[in-house]
Amino acid sequence: MPRPRRNPFYPLLGIVGVVFTVTSMSYCLSVLRGVRPETAAGSGSHPIEKLMDRHGTAILTGELALLAIATVGAIALDQSAGERSRTAQIRERVDERTADRPAADRGTGASPDDGHGAP
């Protein structure tokens, strides 16, 4: 049986998940510094903190949407690959059973014990 293809959504999920984690931690730090100014280490704010203040919610929402799309894509691709695998296994079993039958029964689809004889 051939080796199954790799799901391209898994690396995407990993990358977007790590970026989402870092972004959410930056956003939380930005919110914490906004609520408690005494937690700021220095007087100047970092450019990432300014970015999170202005666009943090939009960035997190976009990353969350990417995570949702990638998750649905990964599940759908895994499910369709599983269906193809199950279909291939069923075909192999049918081929094996067909090869085991006598030549006279192969074309008719009848089996030696199909119930036409004795009640």
The rounded distance, in Å, linking the Cα atoms of 87 and 104 is: 27
Q: Could you tell me which residue, 55 or 119, shows the higher pLDDT?
A: 55
Whole-number average pLDDT of the chain: 79
pLDDT at residue 104 above 80? no
pLDDT at residue 101 above 70? no
Element (H, E) at 46: none
Rounded (5°) CA angle 10-11-17: 90
Identify the pLDDT of residue 24. 94
In contact, 88 and 7? CB cutoff 8 Å: no
pLDDT at residue 93 above 70? yes
What pTM does this model have? 0.63
Q: Write out the two tokens for 1.
A: 């049986």
How far from each other are the two terminal CA atoms of the chain, in whole angstroms? Answer: 42
Q: Write out the two tokens for 16.
A: 């977007």
pLDDT tens profile 38-54: 655 555 677 888 888 89
